[in-house]
Structure 1
C-alpha cells in the first residue's frame, strides 16, 4: 500500500490480487485481506477449498465477479452491471459510489503458452480496476499504476466509460448503496 501525493489510499498490484486491490482502493482503506476473499470463495462454493470456481488454482487470487459482489455486500454496497449498449450519459453520477471495470489485459505479444491456451493457468487475461470520485475529481485507482491518476470531473469520467465500453473488451460495474440498487436512482430516468 502507498499513499499518493493527494493522500489517497492506493494498493499496488501483487500476484493475481487485482480484485482485492480494487476493493480496497475503491473503499479507500485496508477493508479486505486475501483471507477474507478466500473465505467468500468458500461461502460461495462450500467444500471447494482447492479447486474453487471463484478463484485461481491453488488460491493464488484471480477472484471472479461473484467474490467482488459478495465483498461489496458485506460492506453495505451493491454492484450493478452496466448495460454496455447504453450511453454512460444516462447515469446519475451523484448516486454512484464508484465504478469497477473489468478490462482485457491480454498482451499482443502472446507467448507460446497463451497461444496454446495453457497460459490461462498462470496469467489472467482480465484485470479489475476501481474508479471513484474523491473531492471534486474522479480518480483511476488501478493497482498497476504507481499512484492514482486524476480522470477529471463528471464529463471526463463519462467519456472515459464511453471509450472503454466502445473498445469491446470492458465490463462496467456500478457500485452503489443498497437503496440506490433498489430504486435504480443511479440512472437519470429513475428519479
Structure 2
C-alpha cells in the first residue's frame, strides 16, 4: 500500500488530488489547472464575442464569474477533461444511457472519476485490484471486483456523476508491483475528519481519566494525611497522659524518700509542701482523665496523713532516747571518776599524817 500514490485533501483542491491520484504522481498543481481554466474562459469569451460585443448576452457573460474555477480552488469537468487530453485520455459519462446500453462490465475498465457537489475523486485499478483513491480518506481503500459494481451503483443512487476514463494511463510503480502480488487490507481507512475527531475524543478521554485519577489520588492522600494527623494526636495525648502519670509517681517517690531521710523541720516542710502542692495539682488535672491518677492521689493523701501522726511520735522517741543517752553517759562518767577521787583523798590524808609526825 505504501507504493500507491495518494494525495490527501488540502483546501478545495480536490480536482488536483483527483488527477494526481489517477495518474499516480504530482503531475498537476493549482497553477497548472488555473492556467487551463483561464484558457477555457478566454475561448468561451471569444465564442460569445462572435455574436457581437455590444449584445446584451455578451455583456451579461462578462459580468458573470468563471464557470471553470473559483477562488476556493474548485475546477470544472472541462478543466479536468482538458488536463487529461494532454495524456491522450478521454472521459465518458458512465451514467449516460448510451454507455448503459453497452452493458460493459465495470471490472474491465481502467479508472473512474466521480463528482458530487464539487468534490472529485478517483477509483482506479492498480495491477489486478481496484482502489478508492478519495483524497478525503486517510489512505487507499481496497475494493474487490464483486463489490465494484455495487459501489458504483451506490454512488449513482447518492447523486454522484461518474465518468469512465479511457486511454492508456502512464506507467507507475504501484501498477507494476501489484501485477506481481495482491494486497490484503485488514482495516479500511477512515475519513480524515473522523480520524481527527476520534483522536480528539480519545485525547479528551485520556485527559478526563488522568484528571479523575489525579482527583482520586488527591482524595486518597488527603484521607491518609487526616488519618496520620488523627493518629499523631492520639499518640500525643497518650504520651502526655503517660508523662503526667510518670511525673506524679516520681513526685510521690521523692516525697516518700525525703520523709524517710528525716530532714530538719524547715527543709522537710518546704520540700514536702512543694511536692504536695505539685502532686495535688497533678491529681486535680488528671482526676477526670485516668483512674490511675486518682488512685495514686488517694494513696498519696493517705500516706501523708499517716506521716503527720507518726512524725510527732518519732520526735518524742528521739528526744527520750537523747535524754536517756545523756543520763547514761553521766552515770558512766561518775562511776569512772569515783575511784580517782578516793585515791586523791587517800594521798591527801597521808600527806597530812606525815606533816603531823614531823611537827611532833
Give the TM-score taking structure 1 as reference length.
Answer: 0.69
User: Which consecutive residues of structure 2, in runs of 5 or more, have no partner in the other structure?
Assistant: 46-61, 169-360
Q: Is residue 97 from structure 1 mapped to residue 88 from structure 2 by the alignment? A: no
Please give the alpha-carbon distance, in whole angstroms, between the structure 2 residues aligned to 1:94 and 1:157: 7
Q: CA deviation at 1:83?
A: 2.5
| Structure with the largest fraction of strand | 1
Q: Is residue 172 from structure 1 mapped to residue 185 from structure 2 by the alignment? A: no
Q: CA deviation at 1:177?
A: 1.3
Q: CA deviation at 1:157?
A: 1.1
User: Which consecutive residues of structure 1, in runs of 5 or more, have no partner in the other structure?
Assistant: 104-124, 179-191
| Residues 49-101 of structure 1: per-residue CA shift (max 9 Å, x gap) | xx432011x3x311111111111111110011122567699224466331001
Supply the RMSD in Å over aligned alpha carbons: 2.5
Q: Is residue 132 from structure 1 mapped to residue 124 from structure 2 by the alignment? A: yes
Report if aligned partners of 2:113, 2:120 keep a CA contact under 8 Å in 1: yes
Q: Is residue 31 from structure 1 mapped to residue 44 from structure 2 by the alignment? A: no
From the superposition, tell whether residues 23 and 42 of structure 1 become closer, same or farther in structure 2 (CA, over 3 Å).
same
Report if aligned partners of 2:124, 2:131 keep a CA contact under 8 Å in 1: yes
Higher relative contact order (CA 8 A, sep 6+): 1
Report if aligned partners of 2:90, 2:165 keep a CA contact under 8 Å in 1: yes
Please give the alpha-carbon distance, in whole angstroms, between the structure 2 residues aligned to 1:61 and 1:174: 23
Please give the alpha-carbon distance, in whole angstroms, between the structure 2 residues aligned to 1:157 and 1:11: 22
Q: Which residue of 2 aligns with 1:76?
A: 88
| Residues 138-182 of structure 1: per-residue CA shift (max 9 Å, x gap) | 0000001111110112x2211111111123x1110000018xxxx
Pairing partner for 1:161 from 125, 137, 152:
152
Pairing partner for 1:7 from 3, 8, 28:
3
Q: Which residue of 2 aligns with 1:142?
A: 134
- Helix, strand or coil at the partner of 2:123: strand
From the superposition, tell whether residues 7 and 88 of structure 1 become closer, same or farther in structure 2 (CA, over 3 Å).
farther
Q: Is residue 45 from structure 1 mapped to residue 58 from structure 2 by the alignment? A: no
| Structure with the largest fraction of helix | 2
- Helix, strand or coil at the partner of 2:28: coil
Q: Which residue of 2 aligns with 1:116?
A: none
Give runs of aligned pairs for residues 53-64 of structure 1, distance below 5 A. 53-56=67-70, 58=71, 60-64=72-76
- Helix, strand or coil at the partner of 1:10: coil
Report if aligned partners of 2:106, 2:148 keep a CA contact under 8 Å in 1: no
